[in-house]
């Protein structure tokens, strides 16, 4: 598992990269976006390969509808 808070530069391969929560492609490079929130005692992360995929994501956070 790759630390989602680390810099994902050229030293990580596509197989080890986190997957985009919207399309399933590797979330690498300068277009990568991350959404992080706290759920109880846990930090939850969703990785996205681009802003477009981030925009398409159905927000699952409890506060999303509020």
Structure tokens at 18: 């986190």
For the whole model, what pTM was predicted?
0.74
Residue 14: what pLDDT? 85
Report pLDDT digits (tens) over 18-39. 999 999 999 988 899 999 999 9
What residues does each domain of the chain span?
A: 17-56
Beta strands in the chain (DSSP E): 33-39, 42-48
58 or 12, higher pLDDT: 58
Residue 50: what pLDDT? 96
Spatial distance between the Cα atoms of 66 and 57, rounded to a whole number of angstroms = 17
Residue 25: what pLDDT? 95
Hey, how many other C-beta atoms are within 10 angstroms of the C-beta on 20?
Answer: 22
Spatial distance between the Cα atoms of 28 and 14, rounded to a whole number of angstroms = 8
Report pLDDT digits (tens) over 44-61. 999 999 999 999 999 988
DSSP 64: T
- Contact (CB, 8 A) for 25 and 15: no
């Amino acid at each position: 598992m790759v630390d989602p808070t680390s810099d994902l530069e050229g030293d990580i391969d596509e197989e080890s990269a986190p997957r985009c929560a919207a399309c399933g492609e590797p979330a690498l490079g300068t277009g990568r976006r991350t959404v992080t929130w706290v759920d109880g005692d846990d930090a939850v992360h969703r990785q996205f390969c681009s802003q477009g995929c981030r925009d398409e994501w159905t927000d699952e956070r409890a506060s999303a509808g509020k």
